[in-house]
Structure 1
């Protein structure tokens, strides 16, 4: 009887702390790779899962993601759990060479040893795939790997996540996921000239290099990118790709498809709890509206009524679950206007998730609208209703078209 009570107590403690029995370590590792969205980078189109080959573009050149299957010659077959932990925690490879920070060890350093061991156990359980790594193609002097030592000294803070005893268990779990495995700041932050994240204020939004999307500020407080969102709205977006406040498009659609839709409701709620705690932001600087901007907005209103209002509503509130609202939409009001320009010209495609298997998509208008009309309608929706974002110009539209992501 005493042994049974002890066993029940052990199992209760194991599940409460996230430490599951050793027999379940592979399944736990599978779940953690989903939380880390590992397959997105380490699987090329048409390739075996985790076998590498997908090329990650950076402002400094192209870096292919390596093979994570347990092939001994080209993957992780010769790696130990210590090697894998060092890569995740310290950004050093099996040969002790510094890894390029396109691999987000700057965030993964917060992942616990128990979790890296579980991820490694799952990766070792995969079928081995022989796929040799491709050498990075980087411009000089960025091709000199020795320079990473200086970069690390300036911009890399090593250390596992430390729980805050003053916060709830949900907050700590959400912070651990967002700061560590979820590596949210890798997209939702500005970067300096050397590609390092500007972490203050945290998760304050920024342009995703090369992809040229703006990942919005994630504060739910006053003046934050998610001001007015509830925790339920955040959970809905991460789980289904849509919410009453907006829809996931662009890179975020892939994150929802490959990662967050597979997380438990408790983990999604924990992330929402953490985002709720981010500090309020300073009010955006008010810009005077030039006469040509006011003219653009008037023209844009006509374009909007003709092309957009049937779906998004004259009032900008959207229609049900199908068409997202544009009023107080973080992707519409973000500082640069890039997202709205991209959506108007190229359309938007929400992820097909388990709970939203047949999402509505937005058609492209690049063949229907001139650069002037595109700038006009984007300016209008960024300044109509409750929105108070800066105008965009036809030159902004042309600049977007000329960029690699455009």
Structure 2
């Protein structure tokens, strides 16, 4: 009898939990100020086009070699593949049948037209902060695009991640719709930067550590981008791995041009700068930099040095390799010749705990984006065909231990793991 009661209680608890999952988080709704807010006027379309640049929307919603905005791009996740949808105004395969309210619900509540829960690969955890006015301008812009009839591909996710119940459970734990609330004691510039970084810019989608459920944690303290294996560095005031020692104008220059006296962007960030940030206004980029500079460090900045005969041997070998292959561009002092040849002294790719980016650049080369502020970027050649795993490990270890850089050594096994990693 007791077992029967326990079984009934367990079933009732499961039903209650299921009902709670489906009911939470409750949908929030904010009405448009008027139909004029999302009308296809030149001003609305121009503003929406700018906001789409800020959010780098086309990068995800365009497959390589495919029509712009028509989706089809495969995004690999630890749970399987997501295929990004068509957001052109085609009524059958895109969002042509969506109302402005439908579109806002997708951004703010993570729900598609009809109520289907969206996978958080679409960063509605960030977009929930986008204002209704900005959502309406985006809607006007997207509905001004030429419609493309291209059916969406079904996702390829493993069970149970391919179920709506799994998405509902994830949302119960990791998502709550909210609106952006300006900090009353902060400047308008700081608040604008917070809105762009945490909202439409969705910087935490890459620059945050993710837990086993794929939810971002640790703010903007940096993290390895799942399946891509590039490390998005800390955007906090951490002195060694973050922006603590950077001047605001250096951050602005890096975001707008891809190069600065402090560093050069490579990998996924080069695409973000090329497609998005170089088109963002200087006041908005300055606001973003101002906000980022204010973020407290999210990790201890003290690091125990790793020493020993093996490390000393690797550093000595790396020094010889550096003098053979690298010194002509980056100099004996590691200061380089910015913006053509970025500095290695104090470079975050070398000072942070993860050596992923440094290893990948040595193996595969480094290529900054072509931008309005840097139309003829210099590139670094690959050395994967010149150095074996032990040699790459030695030179990266040397770089991470020189010119006041203080980062852990690198092993040949680490290098080998990235040697076989796709470039993008």
Q: How would you bin the TM-score normalised by the shorter chain?
A: over 0.9
* Deviation of the 1:157 alpha carbon: 2.4
Whether 1:52 aligns to 2:81 is no
* Deviation of the 1:334 alpha carbon: 2.0
1:192 aligned partner: 211
Where in structure 2 are the equivalents of 1:28-39 lying within 5 Å? 28-39=47-58
Q: Distance in 1 between matches of 2:393 and 2:361?
A: 12
Q: Distance in 2 between matches of 1:370 and 1:210?
A: 24
* Deviation of the 1:180 alpha carbon: 0.3
2:264 aligned partner: 247
Q: Given the superposition, is the C-alpha separation of residues 231 and 104 from structure 1 closer, same or farther in structure 2, using an over 3 Å criterion?
A: same
* Deviation of the 1:165 alpha carbon: 1.1
Whether 1:159 aligns to 2:162 is no
Q: Distance in 2 between matches of 1:321 and 1:224?
A: 20
* Deviation of the 1:226 alpha carbon: 1.9
SS at match of 1:219: coil
Aligned pair count reads 386
SS at match of 1:57: strand
8 Å contact kept, 2:241–2:351: no
SS at match of 2:374: coil
* Deviation of the 1:23 alpha carbon: 4.6
8 Å contact kept, 1:346–1:365: yes
* Deviation of the 1:206 alpha carbon: 0.2
2:382 to 360, 364, 370: 364
TM-score, normalised to structure 1's length? 0.92
Whether 1:213 aligns to 2:230 is yes
Whether 1:67 aligns to 2:89 is no
Q: Distance in 1 between matches of 2:308 and 2:175?
A: 43
* Deviation of the 1:270 alpha carbon: 0.3
* Deviation of the 1:145 alpha carbon: 2.7
1:354 to 366, 372, 375: 372
Whether 1:335 aligns to 2:353 is yes
Q: Distance in 2 between matches of 1:380 and 1:224?
A: 18
* Deviation of the 1:122 alpha carbon: 0.1
Please identify the structure whose Cα radius of gyration is greater. 2
SS at match of 2:148: coil
Q: Deviations over 1:31-75 (max 9, x none)?
A: 000000000000112222111111111111111110010000000
Whether 1:387 aligns to 2:409 is no
SS at match of 2:216: coil
* RMSD (Å), alpha carbons: 1.7
Q: Distance in 2 between matches of 1:312 and 1:296?
A: 20
Q: Distance in 2 between matches of 1:79 and 1:325?
A: 49
Q: Distance in 2 between matches of 1:65 and 1:291?
A: 50
Between 286-295 and 119-128, report the one with greater CA deviation.
286-295
* Deviation of the 1:402 alpha carbon: 3.9
Whether 1:95 aligns to 2:111 is no
TM-score, normalised to structure 2's length? 0.88
Which blocks of at least 5 consecutive residues in structure 2 are unaligned?
1-37
1:107 to 126, 145, 157: 126
1:345 to 350, 355, 363: 363
1:174 aligned partner: 193
8 Å contact kept, 1:221–1:276: no
Which blocks of at least 5 consecutive residues in structure 1 are unaligned?
1-18
Q: Deviations over 1:103-149 (max 9, x none)?
A: 10011111001001100100000000001000001122212232111
2:391 to 373, 381, 388: 373
Q: Distance in 2 between matches of 1:278 and 1:233?
A: 17
1:315 aligned partner: 333
2:291 aligned partner: 274
* Deviation of the 1:366 alpha carbon: 0.1
1:146 aligned partner: 165
SS at match of 2:397: helix
2:315 to 297, 306, 315: 297
Q: Distance in 2 between matches of 1:404 and 1:245?
A: 27
Q: Deviations over 1:346-376 (max 9, x none)?
A: 0011100011111000110000001110000
1:283 aligned partner: 301
2:414 to 396, 399, 403: 396
